[in-house]
Structure 1
Amino acid sequence: MAAGAVAAPLLAKGRRVCKEGCPGCRLDQINKTNTGVPYLNFFYVWVVCLCAALPIQSLFPYLYFMIRDLKVAKQEEDIGFYAGFVGAAYFLGRTTSAVPWGMFADKYGRKPCIMISILSVIVFNTLFGLSTTYWMAIITRGLLGLLCGILGPIKAYASEVCRKEHQALGISLVTSSRSIALIIGPAIGGFLARPAKKYPNLFSEESIFGRFPYFLPCLVISALAAAAGVACIWLPVLPSIPPPPPQISM
C-alpha cells in the first residue's frame, strides 16, 4: 500500500450485506419495496385474529345451562363447580402449548401455525357444540386451546409483515381484534344458544338445533373461522428462522 493511502473499510458505512438464502435479508427486501401501510395484510391479520378469539368467551353465557343439561351435577349448587373445569380447559391447553407453538412458528413459519389454529377452531369448536357428555365438552375445549396457538405467532407476524414504523399499528390491530372478539363472542353465545326454545318459529325441537341446543352458536363461530381460513390464502408467506448451524468442537 502506498504511503499516505487510507485503507477502505471492508463494509461501507450504512451498507448492509445480504447473504443468499438469509430469511432476515429476504424479509428486509420485502419491507423495503412496500413503503406504505399494508392495509390489506393488516385486514387479513385482523380478521384471522378476531375469528380465532371468538370461542374464548362465547360459551360462558350458556355454560350453566349446558352443564345442567349434561346432568353431571348431582345438585344445582354443584353446577358452578363443573362449569369451572370446562371453562378452564381451554386456557389450560393454551398455557401448555404456548411455547411449543412459538418454536413451531419460528422453525416452520407463521402462516402454517395460523392455518392450523384456524382449523382447530373449525373442528373442535363445532364438536364442542355437539357435546353429549361432560368429558366430551372438556376434551374438545382442551384440544381447542392446545391446538390454537395463534396468540404469539400472530403478533410476530403482524410486526414482520410491515416496516418498522408501522409495527405498533400492526400489533395494536391484533389487540383490538381480540378485544372485539371478547365482546362479540359472548353476544353470539347468548343470542343463539337454545334456539328451539327462544325462536320456536324458526327452529323446531326435532331439528338438530333442538337436539343439540348449544350447537348453533358454535356453528356460527366455526363458519366465521372457515371464512378466516379462506382469508389465510392471501396472507404473504414470511421466511422462517432456520436453526443455527451445529458447532464442531475441536
Structure 2
Amino acid sequence: MAVDEQTVVLLKKHYYENCPGCKVDKLKESQRGLPIREILSIWIVVLCSALTISSLFPYLYFMIRDFHIAKREEDIGYYAGYVGSSLLFGRVLTSILWGIVADRCGRKPVIVIGTISVVIFNTLFGLSVNFWMAIATRFLLGCLNGLLGPVKAYASEMTREEYQALAISTVGTAWGMGLIIGPALGGYLAQPAEKFPSIFSKESVFGRFPYFLPSLTISAFALVVSIASFWLPETLHKHHGSSELDESRKDMETASLESSSKYNAHKVGGRTPKKSLIRNWPLMSSVILFCIVSLHDMAYTEIFSLWAVSPRRLGGLSYTTEGVGTVLSISGAGLLVFQTCLYPHWVRLLGPVMVARIGGVLTIPLLSSYPFIARLSGLGLSIALNCASVAKNVLSVSIDTNLFILQNNAVDQDQRGAANGIVMTAMSLFKAFGPAGGGTIFSWAQKHQDAAFLPGNHMVFFILNVVKAIGVLMTFEPFLVERHN
C-alpha cells in the first residue's frame, strides 16, 4: 500500500525551538558513529557517585577501632555496618523525590546537585572525629546525592537508539568500577602518615585525620565533575512554553495521522494517559530482583573488606588496607577488560536475562570457596584471592548491567525519571540492610568459631549464597518478565 506525500510529511518529527530535549534529539539525527563523548560523560558522572559508596570499607574496620566505640574487637563489624548503611538509608528517603524532580525540572540539575553534595559531605566524612559525625555526614550525602536514578534515564536519552544499550551498560560498568576503584583508593590512601612517613608527618592534617586523604581525593575528582556537569546538555522535553500555533499544528498533525492510519488512541486532556508504574510488571519484577541482588552485593562488599583485614585467629586474612586495595585494583582491571571485550558479545549471544541467571549460578560455588581460601598463605593465597575477587566482581557487574537494561526498556521516556527513582529507593533500602546485616552477621560469626554447624566465616558465606540462590530463582518466568516492543 503506497503512502501518500502528506502522511510522509506528518511522520516527520516536529522540533520545538526552545526545548532542550528537542535540541538533543535533533543533534542525534545528525550524529554518526560511536558517541564517545556522551558515553564518557555518563561514565565519569556515575563513577563520581559510585566512588563514595564503598571507598570507606577497607579502612572502616580501623576507623571504628579509632573511635573507641566498640568494647570488643569482635564488635567492630557491628558498628561498621551502621556507618556503611547510613548513606543508603538517606538515599531511600529521597530517591523518588529526585526522580520526580528529574522528570519535572530536568536531569541536569539533579546531576549537578548530586556531584556537589559529594564534594561537601564526602570531605566532611574524612574529617569525622567520632562515630556519630561519620553517620551524619554519610546520611546527608545519601539524601542529596540522588543522581544515579536520573542518570540511567539520561543515558538512554543522550544517544541514538542503536547505542542506547551501550549507554545504559556504561552506567552499570561505571558503577561496578566505582565499587572497586573506591575501595582501592581507600585502601592505598588511608593512614598515610603510617604508610608514607617521609611525605606525611603525624602532626599534619593527614596525620591527625588518618582517613581524610582518600575522601579528599574523591572530593577533588567530584569537584572537577561538578564543574564539567554545567556544560552537559539537558535531555528533558519542555514544551509548556510553546506557542498556540505550534500546539494547534501538533494537534492537527496528530489527528490527521490517526485518521490516515485508522488508529484511535484514548486521550485524556489531549495527551495519552501515563501507565501505572506499580502495575508495570516487567519493571517491578526487575526492580524486586535488583533489590535482592543489591542486598547481596552490598553485604558482600562490606564482608569482604572486614574479612580480609580481620585477624587470622578469627578466620580472616590479616591484610592491611593497602593489601585490600591491591586486590580490588586487580579486580577493577579484570572487570574493565571483561566489560570492554567480552560482555557485549556475551549479552548479544545469550540475552540479558540468561546472562544474569548464569552469573548468579556461578557465584554460589565461588563464594563457598572463600573460607577455604583463608587457609592458604603466601603466593597461593594471593593468586586464589585475586582470581576469586575478579570473578566475583565480573559476575556481579554483569548481573547489575543487565537489570539496568531491563528496567529502562520497561518504561517510556517520560516515566524513566520516576521509574528510576522507584528503583533507587527500593534498591537503596535493600542495600542499606546489606552493610548493617553483613556487619552484624560477620561480628556474630567471629564469636562462633567453634560451632558444630558452619563454624565462623562458613556461616557468613553460606548466608550470602542463600540470598544469591533466591535471586537466581527469581530470574525465571513467570516472575521475571521482559517488555517486548
Structure 1 counterpart of 2:108, from 90, 107, 111: 111
Partner amino acid for 1:130? L
Structure 1 counterpart of 2:172, from 161, 165, 175: 175
Secondary structure at the counterpart of residue 95 of structure 1: helix
* Counterpart in the other structure of 1:223: 220
* Counterpart in the other structure of 1:54: 51
Structure 2 counterpart of 1:185, from 182, 187, 207: 182
After superposition, what is the alpha-carbon deviation per residue over 1:52-77, rounded to whole angstroms, capped at 9, x for unaligned? Answer: 11011110101011111111223323
Contact 2:21/2:235 (<8 A) preserved: no
Distance change (3 Å), C-alpha of 1:242 and 1:57: farther
Structure 2 counterpart of 1:88, from 80, 85, 94: 85
How far apart, CA to CA, are the structure 2 residues paired with 1:29 and 1:235? 16
After superposition, what is the alpha-carbon deviation per residue over 1:165-221, rounded to whole angstroms, capped at 9, x for unaligned? Answer: 110111111111111111111111011111111111111110000100100000011
Larger helix fraction of residues: 2
* Counterpart in the other structure of 1:15: 11
Secondary structure at the counterpart of residue 62 of structure 1: helix
Distance change (3 Å), C-alpha of 1:204 and 1:17: closer
Structure 1 counterpart of 2:71, from 70, 74, 86: 74
Partner amino acid for 2:138? R
Partner amino acid for 1:52? S
How far apart, CA to CA, are the structure 2 residues paired with 1:94 and 1:242? 31
* Counterpart in the other structure of 2:208: 211
After superposition, what is the alpha-carbon deviation per residue over 1:8-47, rounded to whole angstroms, capped at 9, x for unaligned? Answer: 8975576145274666655432322334332112111111
Matched, 1:150 2:147: yes
* Counterpart in the other structure of 2:349: none
Partner amino acid for 1:232? S
Secondary structure at the counterpart of residue 54 of structure 1: helix
Contact 2:19/2:237 (<8 A) preserved: no
Count of residues paired in the alignment = 238
Distance change (3 Å), C-alpha of 1:23 and 1:193: closer
Q: Which has the higher contact order (CA 8 A, sep 6+)?
A: 1
Matched, 1:125 2:125: no
How far apart, CA to CA, are the structure 2 residues paired with 1:126 and 1:167? 34
Identity over aligned residues, as a percent?
A: 52
Q: What do you get for the CA RMSD once the two structures are aligned?
A: 2.3
Contact 1:26/1:239 (<8 A) preserved: no
Partner amino acid for 1:74? K
Structure 2 unaligned blocks of 5 or more: 241-267, 270-485
* Counterpart in the other structure of 2:40: 43
How far apart, CA to CA, are the structure 2 residues paired with 1:26 and 1:34? 13
Contact 2:21/2:234 (<8 A) preserved: no
After superposition, what is the alpha-carbon deviation per residue over 1:145-168, rounded to whole angstroms, capped at 9, x for unaligned? Answer: 111111111111111111111101
Structure 1 unaligned blocks of 5 or more: 1-7
* Counterpart in the other structure of 1:3: none
Cα deviation for residue 132 of structure 1 reads 0.7
Contact 1:158/1:170 (<8 A) preserved: yes
Distance change (3 Å), C-alpha of 1:153 and 1:33: same
How far apart, CA to CA, are the structure 2 residues paired with 1:9 and 1:39? 37
Contact 1:35/1:163 (<8 A) preserved: no
Cα deviation for residue 80 of structure 1 reads 1.5
